[in-house]
């Protein structure tokens, strides 16, 4: 499956690329500044600007079979990138017949009553992007909702439960890279925090 990782200069996407590279899996790394994408074996950097119109995005993603959306503005461009950028990419995917779309979101993105006040604008962007993915198209989606991201080393051990908690960036990346080919995760929302189950085992239990 030809996979496009969007937001490839971001913290989570960088780790996703390292996983694919280590597995010797060819992957396209999309970023507004492709020259800033880390150079890795089996990783090809490509230009993709989420500010572009849908038709232009559609031309740039032709030939792709799956998209992992891990782009994020870290609060600097929430409407254009985190919200509408995601929506336009979904629309572009449908235009060119791409069915698989994996979304990196956030724990409780669809439950406003549980949002932290300090991150309200970020959660609003995720709320609308996730709702569009679920309700406004026919993509084979998976939404991964991690708890608070931390920079500790990955353990490969998680808990897929909707409860407060932290999770390493490396482990979130491993979940994204694992679910992309799992048909059983289509149409699923997967909350994940650090835990004591290997990722593959935890995914089997939700199938």
CA distance 37 to 7: 9
141: annotated active-site residue: no
Q: Are 180 and 66 in contact (CB under 8 A)?
A: yes
CA distance 126 to 187: 17
DSSP, res 153: P
Catalytic residue, from 42, 84, 108, 122: name it.
122
Per the DSSP assignment, residues forming a β-bridge with 30 are 6, 46
CA distance 152 to 123: 24
- Count Cβ atoms below 10 Å from residue 135 Cβ, excluding itself: 7
CA distance 57 to 96: 10
Q: Please identify which residue in the block is written with the tokens 């995720």.
A: 126
- The set of catalytic residues is 122
């Amino acid at each position: 499956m030809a996979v496009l990782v969007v937001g490839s200069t971001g913290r989570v996407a960088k780790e996703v690329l390292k996983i694919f590279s280590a597995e010797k899996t060819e992957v396209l790394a999309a970023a507004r500044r492709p020259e800033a994408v880390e150079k890795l074996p089996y990783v090809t950097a490509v230009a993709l600007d989420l500010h572009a119109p849908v038709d232009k995005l559609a031309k740039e993603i032709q030939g792709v079979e799956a998209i992992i959306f891990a782009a994020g503005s870290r609060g600097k461009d929430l409407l254009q990138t985190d919200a509408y950028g995601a929506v336009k990419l979904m629309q572009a995917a449908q235009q060119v017949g791409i069915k698989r779309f994996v979304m990196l979101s956030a724990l409780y993105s669809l439950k406003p009553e549980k949002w932290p006040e300090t991150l309200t604008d970020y959660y609003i962007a995720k709320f609308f992007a996730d709702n569009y993915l679920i309700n406004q198209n026919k993509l084979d989606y998976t939404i991964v909702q991690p708890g608070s991201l931390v920079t500790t080393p990955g353990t490969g051990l998680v808990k897929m439960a909707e409860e407060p908690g932290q999770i390493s960036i490396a482990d979130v990346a491993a979940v994204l890279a694992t679910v992309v080919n799992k048909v059983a995760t289509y149409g699923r929302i997967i909350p994940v925090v650090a835990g004591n189950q290997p990722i593959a085992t935890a995914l089997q239990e939700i199938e």
